[in-house]
Amino acid sequence: MTISALQSARAKYQPKLPNSLKSTIKLVEGEKTQSIADQNEIQKLFPNTYGMPIITFEAGDAKKQYPAVNVGVILSGGQAPGGHNVISGIFDGIKNINPASKLFGFLGGPGGLVDHKYVELTAEVIDEYRNTGGFDIIGSGRTKLEETAQYDKGAEILKQLDIKALVIIGGDDSNTNACVLAEYYAAKNMGIQVIGCPKTIDGDLKNDMIETSFGFDTATKVYSELIGNIERDANSAKKYWHFIKLMGRSASHIGLECALQTQPNITLISEEVELKKQTLGEIVDYMANIVAKRAANGENFGVALIPEGLVEFVPEMKALISELNDLLAEGSETEQKFKSFTNKAEGRAFV
């Protein structure tokens, strides 16, 4: 593959590492973990994996000899710059432990594990993708691992390749799948570790141990740059209002972070709307009042940030959506009624 001078220079970049990972390391077990809520219920669902200790890395004294280990990796969900470097880091880490270690990538997301589609990631392959964006090294997918048959099919190929650890790089759904998979393999004593790596544009995988996830970091920086450009344009022309819809169907972290970086005139936070039980009318009045106040000051321009999932957080709309879902659920009388219509006109008349 022919690469440009820029790509060649970018490939030589060495990501910064914390001091504890720059040389020999040792693992230190900390206190046992627990969920922030519903501890008893979750422990019943995950009896073999609940309450595992926190593991921290510290600089070690002398390099130890470890046996070779085979590791599998899966990219799940939407792409984000950083995925290739996570895989590169896994490759470098296991090769540093033992040069005979191998890394296998499952193609097209979790479906590759079930369908036994994989490729060995060698140094030649890894070096072509260092410091590059996208998930194209092995591809991604959104197959959900929810059935016992899927777990067993995955176990077949993991045993065949002698894989002892499986890394799933993805968001909240993907990491939930990783938890279920880890519990199943632990219950069967299969000797396969399942590790989840947080990757999400929504920024909803966060705790004391996760400062931020890649995906979210990239999205907010790119969005903030574009929002800043629009704000500069609005302030220059002084005659337009820009209403910008941001990603964030189930959380407003992107909207909040972009607002902190760009200081727009209006920012709607879905969770705040839900907490205050605001109606659509109240939201419109709030925005209209700001537009009117700025107009009174001769400022007929501005920027408003709106999360894409706002409507689902408005209590009255949330209730409406729930009722519609019940009415249109499979097997309901309403569904049968809609199916009985011979044309769209009958359906519109019924509604």
Q: What are the catalytic residues?
A: 202
241 C-beta neighbours (distance < 10 Å), count: 17
How many H-runs (helices) and E-runs (strands) does the chain carry?
15, 11
- From CA 120, how far away is CA 286, in angstroms rounded? 56
Residues 205 and 203: their CA atoms lie apart, in Å, by 6
331: left (phi over 0), alpha (psi -120 to 50) or beta: left
Could you tell me the two tokens for 35? 């969920």
Instruction: Tell me the CB-side half-sphere exposure of residue 228, using CA atoms within 13 A.
Output: 10
Q: How many residues does the chain have?
A: 351
CA-CA distance, 216 to 253, in Å (whole number)?
A: 9
